[in-house]
Amino acid sequence: MSDNRYRKVPSRRLSRLASFGQIATGVAGGMLAEGARRLARGEAPRLSDLLLTPANATRVADQLSRLRGAAMKLGQMISLDAGDVLPRELTEILSRLRESAHFMPPAQLERVLTAEWGAGWRSKFKTFEPRPIAAASIGQVHRATLPDGRVLAIKVQYPGIANSIDADVDNVATLLRMSSLLPATLNIAPLLAEAKRQLHEEADYVREAEMMLRYAELLADDPAFLVPRPYELLCGRNVLAMDFIDARPIETLSVASPEVRNRVLGTMMGLVLRELFEFGFMQTDPNFANFRWQPAKDGADNERVVLLDFGAARAIDPATTASYRRMMLAGLAADRDALRESLLDIGFIAAPVLARHGAAFDRMINVLLDHLGKPGLFEFADRSFVERIRGEAETIFADRSAWHIPPAEALFVQRKISGSALLAVKLKGSLPLRDMVERAVSGTAPALLIGAMRDSQ
């Protein structure tokens, strides 16, 4: 097979461990080469400067995309969550992990489907397209047609992925520790345990089918969304069959009119608020590939958002929802003391860190309130405040003893919020964000979010 998109998934523990060894060796070699170049120029390079180079990021991104599974998933999380902290060049390189992964070779795919459906599995279909229409960290998707004409999307999990999750997470953690990027005193064990738990849930396609049905029920009366239905006769732990919905990648909204773009982004941001404050249930993976859209027909304003991939769907602890409500109410009121207390309460700031860097945090809060608290439309493309925040954050990050990991529950919720905001930034959206948040925390969001959008246009 000449197509370089096809690469066998390493499914055995030793072969995956060897891949991590190649990552470590390649990064170390890159650090030595970069160090020699800088010394030849008379520079005294720092370890972090040698490690965080575009060449090393390219090595890591390429190897993780070949491994797929939890290793690639963690790389995607880093590229989404740390976009305003990592150097811009590194973020752009790691963002490749949010794009399509390599495909399984046909022989490997055949073995997986035969194990799942039996030797005569092709007789179940009128057609089955052997080339995937999409590929991601845990599985790849094929289009197929049943004898009755129903078109399905078939998500097939890569072999060995579920069994490799714990080892992959541990290996990524080892690479981070070896790199000295993380302080030795930082306890990441609770976060690693939660990451393993969620990744095991994402690898359980029976559970994902159940989450898909739950979302379809939650949004049954909302015409702005489309949720595929599972075809249960072909579903199993490693294969998920569902309706194929023809739609466009969400990033193609960049060429739509500002009115269409903002309506769709408003619909998506409104869903995040409903998940947090109404449903108590959230799909916490904001990867752009999990969202598509259908243009309106006949000049109407009824664009629809297609929701995909429910492996990361989870209930939200009511205490977390209450903490977010207090935090947003404090922000709306520009109550700096209450906002500081709510950040402590939710776990985004640790009390000892605030004691040492309170002035820097206060300046960050002032920047955010000045930027986010403006009435009217919020221009996501205006990133003028980011450099000011980055400057204050660098002071705090320089104090490695101040590094702090918030509770996993809050991290997963914040990941969805931050990822949705990143999409709005990418698409240069303009939304009445303050009004939307105010109505959401007051409990009037479902009926009035669309009204807020239209009132602002």
Residue from 50, 99, 55, 101 nearest 79 by CA: 99
Residue 456: band (very low, low, confident or very high) from pLDDT cuts 50, 70, 90: very low
Higher pLDDT, 55 or 446: 55
Report the pLDDT value the prediction gives residue 71, as an integer from 0 to 100: 54
Q: Which of 117-126, 194-203, 439-448 shows the lowest per-residue confidence on average (mean pLDDT)?
A: 439-448
User: Closest Cα to residue 161, out of 263, 11, 304, 331?
Assistant: 11
Instruction: Give the tens place of pLDDT for each residue, 360-396.
Output: 889 999 988 888 878 889 999 888 777 788 788 878 8
pTM of the model: 0.79
Average pLDDT, the chain: 79
Q: Which two tokens stand for residue 342?
A: 């709510």
Q: By the 8 A CB rule, do 298 and 435 touch? A: no
| pLDDT value of residue 375 | 84
- Beta-carbon contacts of 225 under 8 Å, excluding residues fewer than 6 positions away, are 219, 267, 271, 304, 305, 306, 307
pLDDT attached to residue 11? 46
Instruction: Give the residue with greater pLDDT, 429 vs 165.
Output: 429
Confidence at residue 161, expressed as pLDDT on a 0 to 100 scale: 80
Q: Catalytic residues, which ones?
A: 285
Contact 101, 140 (CB under 8 A): yes
pLDDT score for 158: 87
Q: Are strands 225-226 and 151-157 parallel, antiparallel or unpaired?
A: unpaired
